[in-house]
Structure 1
Amino acid sequence: MSAAEDAVAMKNKGNAAIAKKDWREAIDCYDKAIELDPTVAVFYSNRAHSHIKLEEFGLAIADASKAIELDPKYIKAYYRRAVSYLAVMKYADALKDFRAVCRQVPHDKDARLKMQECEKIVRKISFMKAIEVGDPPSAAEGLDLNSMVVELDYDGVRLGNEMTKEFVEDMIQRFKDGKKLHRKYVYQIIIKAKEVFYNEPTMPEVTIEQGKKMTVCGDTHGQYFDLLEIFNRNGYPSETHAYLFNGDFVDRGSWSTEIALLLYSYKLLYPTNFFLNRGNHETDDMNRVYGFEGECKAKYNERTFKLFSESFSALPLATLIGAKYLVLHGGLFSDDEITLDDVRALDRHKQRQPGQEGLMMEMLWTDPQTMPGRGPSKRGVGLQFGPDVTKRFCERNGLEAIIRSHEVRMEGYEVEHDGRCITVFSAPNYVDTSGNKGAYINIGPDYKLQHNVFDAVPHPNIKPMAYAQNSLMSSMMM
């Protein structure tokens, strides 16, 4: 066989791996096909598809762009690049590619619908920038909770001025039964939690006393029933059992409001023993695309989303455990000179959204890599950092390791960079398709890390991202 024929054979193996949803195997096959024949657009486009499935949108953009360079009329490549631009909030670039698709296939109703929805997003962003005059008024303005009446037929536990264990336990069951909280209680929980978060430092510093323990959880992404599995296996939050949730508790899964309200309620119940870090999905841009905004509006109302948005901006960005472990959602920085003091000094209240650059963005978006040094982000936002970067940061700041989340790990967690970088991910069988395990980390007074792995549990028949912008999200789930 010729090299070109061998390349096609590897492409076919890659296609078979896609059919089995084995995205890494597919990428390996397309890598080999491209090595054998780097002139075929479909090899790059198919690899872009696999990168999209792994949320490696930066790599997908590069592959789709190469496919377009080789074949300027290759519709799938424009489509996949548009999807990837959309995922990293580059809406104007996505719109250009959706328009390119529609020019080539003007009668494709699905492509036209996606183009029109993307146009709406671009117009909305332009409008908001045009009318921006400093900080908008709070969504809590004009909201008189005291005058709001909880109807007599409300069948849940009543909430007074203080959070109670009885209310939380009733809330857990209500959500399991598919019921909602009264909107007065929703407003009350979010507003009070925001006040607590706002008054915490950007990096809370905690110690673990004798007779107590702390559990660190990674992304839960609206997978409410898997969150309850953690509590059922590992124990519910209490005065002696602290929890830290390391961001991305909303979006993707279709019980994001339930998770957020439960975690906020635990924060109010145990304000010095329950912690939340902000993740890259606790941001407006991500919530607009990945479902949380739509879920808030469907289950409650637009004000609920706006209140949540304000509360996300108040969340701490990292937690320091025992002066040994820095826990933050994404990872490390583009500058070796950054220290824990820089994190302590970061005024997160001046910048509500992380944007595309800067310290906050890097804390929420970066990822580890196996190669030394730093590299471009496979996501298209942020960067990647190598084991030498992690070693220097830990040594300079007297840390044993960093603990981060932000990425699916098939075994639920992974220890990298000679033990100095630990990833923990707590959403098993992510978006009902990934087949991964979930994990959480227990830490006692000796500050030793105990990794625990668990499997997904059954949930009601509601698909992931059920509340997302359906047309645009269908392209991401393709």
Structure 2
Amino acid sequence: MASAVEQATAYKNDGNKAFAAHNWLGAIDLYSKAIDLNDKEPTYFTNRAQAHIKSEAYGYAIADATKAIELNPKFVKAYFRRAVAYAAILKPKDAVKDFKKCVELDPNNKDAKLRLAECQKIIRQLNFYAAIEVGDEPSAAEGLDVDSIAIEPDYDGVQLKDQMTQEFIDDMIERFKTGKKIHKKYVYQIVIAVKKIVYDESTMVEIKIPEDIKFTVCGDTHGQYFDLMELFRLNGRPSEKHWYLFNGDFVDRGSWSTEIALLLYAYKWLRPNGMFLNRGNHETDDMNKVYGFEGECKAKYNERVFKLFSESFSALPLATLIGDKYLVLHGGLFSDDNVTLDDIRKVDRHTQRQPGQSGLMMEMLWTDPQKAPGRGPSKRGVGMQFGPDVTKRFCEKNGLDAIIRSHEVRMDGYEEEHDGRCITVFSAPKYCDQTENRGAYINISPSYKLDFHQFDAVPHPPIRPMAYVNNSLMSSM
């Protein structure tokens, strides 16, 4: 019979195989079994840390790397992985300390030196932004005379006048499929028009589903334009009789983020009462600067386009209440049991704009469910986690059947947790070309019955995820 140490090694080897197959959660489970049998082996913790990084559980990765360092204070890989996790949750100063330790322990480590330099550059940029930040910066639309921008004679797309048209959207969809852009004048028109529309919406949009309407809720799309096209092929494009709600994280990571944002915005302009958009944690400045959307806007259009998008993102609603039965929000629930729907209605998103490190807006964009009751520290290192009892109390207090949220990969595209009262939907299959997950969307009938649908990723042009990230630190994650 194999000893505990031998069995632990076997679990670790199986974990490595699962990791190689991009089954991050399976790898985490196997590394955990190895640790249960032998918790004195630091490589088990660093291996699990790497799987946590791949599944975006950066808080757990930091904890595992820290444990490995306790077991072996000279373990370069542990410092390296902890540094990568710190960088991912936008804590570059902590990452710098660990990358410096890597270089101190291994002076020839070129990767650590490169990432150390990248982190130091990010810190300089953040200090620069902080130094020039002014209280009420004028809008990027100020001084922009859109009407005077000429469309070149060789522009081969459908023209856009003062109102969005279905013809323009249909043409835009095909242009984007073939790698073409729309004219920057039209980009300005779309983003400025939609900012005004969403600014005037409530922080929590409240809707009823009419008898003759098909209603679809989608989770994160993360710039995976061709997978969104597949979703529309299977389920139908937005129309007068088919309403959609996109629950945040339209952008970042995937390399067609401007295409998705412009398409969803165009539909919002065309049918403001049939296309609904919630803000996600990636519709925020700090994430966009690091995870690719800012770089993509600048590469495909210009810096002003990014600034206009940034203003529009901060105007997006934070939640949607469907038929008084389902609260749809990007992240999850709250650190305080006393929070009600009225408290959400009262959040002043126009004054706060960015979610910050605490408060209702941050929690709505960042929190995650956990299996254990009560509340726990976030596996991400940002926000917190809430258990089934928290969900039950919130739903009962507010007369809800369930909350619907996104924010996390689910291997089946969706998951019903907390006795069916916490539903996660994620609409980016084969996320970042690395995770072998399916995508999903939810159709909700006029009688408020939920109908779950799954779909698979489709081929896309050979542009890798994170292609527009302007530092190697993030693009290699």
Q: Is TM (by shorter chain) over 0.5?
A: yes
Percent of residue pairs identical: 70
Contact 2:469–2:475 (CA under 8 A) maintained in structure 1: no
Contact 1:83–1:475 (CA under 8 A) maintained in structure 2: no
Residue 62 of structure 2 aligns with an amino acid whose one-letter code is: I
Counterpart CA distance in 2 for 1:62 and 1:336 is 27
The Cα shift of 1:208 comes to 0.8
Counterpart CA distance in 1 for 2:238 and 2:21 is 39
Greater mean alpha carbon deviation, residues 194-203 or residues 28-37: 28-37
Q: In structure 1, what is the equivalent of residue 53 of structure 2?
A: 52
The Cα shift of 1:226 comes to 1.0
Residue 383 of structure 1 aligns with an amino acid whose one-letter code is: M
Q: In structure 2, what is the equivalent of residue 264 of structure 1?
A: 265
Counterpart CA distance in 2 for 1:37 and 1:436 is 30
Counterpart CA distance in 1 for 2:19 and 2:226 is 28
Q: In structure 2, what is the equivalent of residue 381 of structure 1?
A: 382
The Cα shift of 1:32 comes to 2.2
Q: In structure 2, what is the equivalent of residue 222 of structure 1?
A: 223
Is 1:285 aligned to residue 286 of structure 2? yes
**Partner SS state of residue 443, structure 2:** strand
The Cα shift of 1:109 comes to 2.8
Q: In structure 2, what is the equivalent of residue 304 of structure 1?
A: 305
The Cα shift of 1:104 comes to 2.3
Greater mean alpha carbon deviation, residues 384-393 or residues 106-115: 106-115
| Structure 2 unaligned regions, length at least 5 | none
Is 1:98 aligned to residue 115 of structure 2? no
**Partner SS state of residue 27, structure 2:** helix
**Partner SS state of residue 204, structure 2:** coil
The count of residues paired between Structure 1 and Structure 2 equals 476
**Partner SS state of residue 161, structure 2:** coil
Q: In structure 2, what is the equivalent of residue 316 of structure 1?
A: 317
Q: In structure 2, what is the equivalent of residue 357 of structure 1?
A: 358
Q: In structure 2, what is the equivalent of residue 340 of structure 1?
A: 341
The residue correspondences of 1:128-277 to structure 2 (distance < 5 A) are 128-277=129-278
Contact 2:326–2:404 (CA under 8 A) maintained in structure 1: yes
**Partner SS state of residue 419, structure 2:** helix
Contact 1:330–1:362 (CA under 8 A) maintained in structure 2: yes
The Cα shift of 1:33 comes to 2.1
Is 1:6 aligned to residue 10 of structure 2? no
**Partner SS state of residue 204, structure 1:** strand
Greater mean alpha carbon deviation, residues 400-409 or residues 281-290: 281-290
**Partner SS state of residue 295, structure 1:** helix
Greater mean alpha carbon deviation, residues 44-53 or residues 94-103: 94-103
1:16 and 1:232, CA in 2 relative to 1: closer, same or farther beyond 3 A? closer
Counterpart CA distance in 2 for 1:468 and 1:159 is 31
The Cα shift of 1:4 comes to 3.3
Residue 171 of structure 2 aligns with an amino acid whose one-letter code is: D
**Partner SS state of residue 262, structure 1:** helix
The Cα shift of 1:285 comes to 1.5
Q: In structure 1, what is the equivalent of residue 64 of structure 2?
A: 63
Residue 40 of structure 1 aligns with an amino acid whose one-letter code is: E
Counterpart CA distance in 1 for 2:41 and 2:193 is 57
Residue 73 of structure 1 aligns with an amino acid whose one-letter code is: K
Counterpart CA distance in 2 for 1:186 and 1:350 is 26
Q: In structure 2, what is the equivalent of residue 440 of structure 1?
A: 441
The residue correspondences of 1:399-478 to structure 2 (distance < 5 A) are 399-476=400-477
Is 1:109 aligned to residue 107 of structure 2? no
Greater mean alpha carbon deviation, residues 4-13 or residues 170-179: 4-13
Contact 2:22–2:436 (CA under 8 A) maintained in structure 1: no
Contact 1:218–1:406 (CA under 8 A) maintained in structure 2: yes
Contact 1:377–1:384 (CA under 8 A) maintained in structure 2: yes
The Cα shift of 1:474 comes to 4.3
The Cα shift of 1:60 comes to 0.2
Contact 1:413–1:425 (CA under 8 A) maintained in structure 2: yes
CA offsets 1:25-70 (integer angstroms, 9 cap, x no match) = 3222222222222222111111101111111111000001111122
The Cα shift of 1:11 comes to 2.3
The Cα shift of 1:311 comes to 0.8
Residue 91 of structure 1 aligns with an amino acid whose one-letter code is: P
Residue 89 of structure 1 aligns with an amino acid whose one-letter code is: L
Greater mean alpha carbon deviation, residues 311-320 or residues 10-19: 10-19
Counterpart CA distance in 2 for 1:131 and 1:458 is 43
CA offsets 1:206-262 (integer angstroms, 9 cap, x no match) = 111111121100001101111111111111111221110000010111100000000
Counterpart CA distance in 2 for 1:463 and 1:208 is 38
Counterpart CA distance in 2 for 1:327 and 1:24 is 26
Residue 147 of structure 1 aligns with an amino acid whose one-letter code is: S
The Cα shift of 1:133 comes to 2.9
Counterpart CA distance in 1 for 2:214 and 2:273 is 13
Counterpart CA distance in 2 for 1:106 and 1:363 is 43
**Partner SS state of residue 384, structure 1:** strand
Q: In structure 2, what is the equivalent of residue 23 of structure 1?
A: 24
**Partner SS state of residue 385, structure 2:** strand
Residue 473 of structure 2 aligns with an amino acid whose one-letter code is: L
The Cα shift of 1:10 comes to 2.8
The residue correspondences of 1:71-82 to structure 2 (distance < 5 A) are 71-82=72-83
The Cα shift of 1:470 comes to 4.4
Greater mean alpha carbon deviation, residues 336-345 or residues 348-357: 348-357
Contact 2:118–2:471 (CA under 8 A) maintained in structure 1: no
Counterpart CA distance in 1 for 2:412 and 2:31 is 25
TM-score w.r.t. the length of structure 1 is 0.97
Greater mean alpha carbon deviation, residues 367-376 or residues 95-104: 95-104
Residue 188 of structure 2 aligns with an amino acid whose one-letter code is: Y
Aligned-residue RMSD, C-alpha: 1.3
Q: In structure 2, what is the equivalent of residue 38 of structure 1?
A: 39
| Structure 1 unaligned regions, length at least 5 | none
The Cα shift of 1:2 comes to 4.3
